[in-house]
Amino acid sequence: MKFADIIGNREVAALLRNMADSSRVPHAMLFYENDGSGALALVLAFVRYLNCHKRSGGEACGECPSCRQMDKLIHPDLHFVFPVNKGPKSSDDKPTSDSYIKYWRELACANPYFTEADLQKTIGIESKNGLIAVAEAKSLISKLSLSSVSDGYKAVVFYLPEKMNPETANRLLKLVEEPPERTLFLFITHSPENVLQTIFSRCQSIRVLPLTREERAKVSSLRKDCDDSEEVEFMDLFMDIMNAIVSGDLCAALDSIEQVSVGESREKQKAFCIFASECLRKIFLMQKNLGSVADIPQEYEAFFGQISSKCGKLFCVRIFPELTKAVSLIDRNVSSRIVFTDLVNRMFISVK
């Protein structure tokens, strides 16, 4: 990943480049972003630049042995930690990131803007929660105790530290506080409030901004292979549910929601709630005669126009908090069938 290829977040890229140029690199940094905004792309460009021996014009050379290994994410001083669980793609009884590293590399090389749900799907644990367990801490401690292979920095890219339990964090704390020389911890979080305070307080935090509409369009073209279909699937489902609700057919709306409430991963269920919130925002803006700023794709203009005229004025205001609540209940492992049935019922009674 080159700095020039980063989509959005120019200021963060410039900050990282300056740190490397001035050799003032904090040993622990925490990048916080909305899922899929490109923190990983920034981190990968940063580590590649930092370890290149022939930097010029603010970019790594792309040709030295370090750059070549970085481009394939196989540099021996580049380590990855991410949430995992048992699944069909690994026979390990206590899986760690290494159990799935092949899939991680393929995904991150193809599209470093992947989402949490993309990762779960790629490593085959869609129906489970990913965790960073204590086996991971043991493995990392032993890797970092070895001396660097090259004379550059060792870097640990730590994706979603909020999925680490306190025992894992305790094991790693000393390492984060007093890392071996020229060792960096680069944490990427989607939920900084859930990162254990003991880790959070030792990091320099960096905000990675959400992407603009144009930037998101560029990312979508990268994502085409992995996940373009999800948005279409969610839109079809949202349309089915809303059309059933406005025509007074609760049974049809409940049938439709089963597509997501039964047999889908929690990450995908949460992603649908977030998608539905975005659709409600569009309906709300149309009801306020602000359709021009609602960013509605042409093919869905008729749908949003029709639905916004059929929903009561308070519908969106009532349902927004219900969607936020649904995400939090799914996170707390409440039965998704109950959560979604309740959600659809509430939409049905709030529509007029």
Taking the complex as a whole, how short is the minimal distance between the CB of residue 53 and Zn ion, in angstroms?
6
60 belongs to the binding site for Zn ion (CB under 5 A): yes
Cα(334)–Cα(7) distance, rounded to whole angstroms?
37
67 belongs to the binding site for Zn ion (CB under 5 A): yes
Taking the complex as a whole, how short is the minimal distance between the CB of residue 67 and Zn ion, in angstroms?
3
DSSP string, 144-200: HHSPPSSSS-EEEEEE-GGGB-HHHHHHHHHHHHSPPTTEEEEEEES-GGGS-HHHH
Q: Does residue 49 contact residue 211 with C-beta atoms inside 8 Å? A: no
Taking the complex as a whole, how short is the minimal distance between the CB of residue 70 and Zn ion, in angstroms?
8
64 belongs to the binding site for Zn ion (CB under 5 A): yes
DSSP string, 184-233: EEEEEES-GGGS-HHHHTTSEEEEPPPP-HHHHHHHHHHHHHHHHHHHHH
Taking the complex as a whole, how short is the minimal distance between the CB of residue 57 and Zn ion, in angstroms?
12
- Among the residue ranges 23-31, 56-64, 158-166, 280-288, the one whose residues contact Zn ion (CB under 5 A): 56-64
Q: How many residues does the chain have?
A: 352
Cα(169)–Cα(132) distance, rounded to whole angstroms?
9
Comparison of 66 and 111: residue with beta carbon closer to Zn ion: 66
Token output for 74:
């196989």
Taking the complex as a whole, how short is the minimal distance between the CB of residue 111 and Zn ion, in angstroms?
23
- Among the residue ranges 7-15, 46-54, 146-154, 217-225, the one whose residues contact Zn ion (CB under 5 A): 46-54
Taking the complex as a whole, how short is the minimal distance between the CB of residue 187 and Zn ion, in angstroms?
25
Comparison of 47 and 164: residue with beta carbon closer to Zn ion: 47
Comparison of 53 and 337: residue with beta carbon closer to Zn ion: 53
Q: Residues 6 or more apart from 28 whose CB is under 8 A from it?
A: 176, 179, 184, 185, 187, 202, 203, 204
Comparison of 60 and 144: residue with beta carbon closer to Zn ion: 60
Core vs surface per residue 229-253: b (16+ CB within 10 A) or e: ebeebbbebbbbbbbbbbeeeeeeb
Residues binding Zn ion: number (CB under 5 A): 5
Comparison of 68 and 288: residue with beta carbon closer to Zn ion: 68
Comparison of 64 and 250: residue with beta carbon closer to Zn ion: 64
52 belongs to the binding site for Zn ion (CB under 5 A): yes
61 belongs to the binding site for Zn ion (CB under 5 A): yes
Residues that bind Zn ion in the complex, under the rule CB under 5 A: 52, 60-61, 64, 67
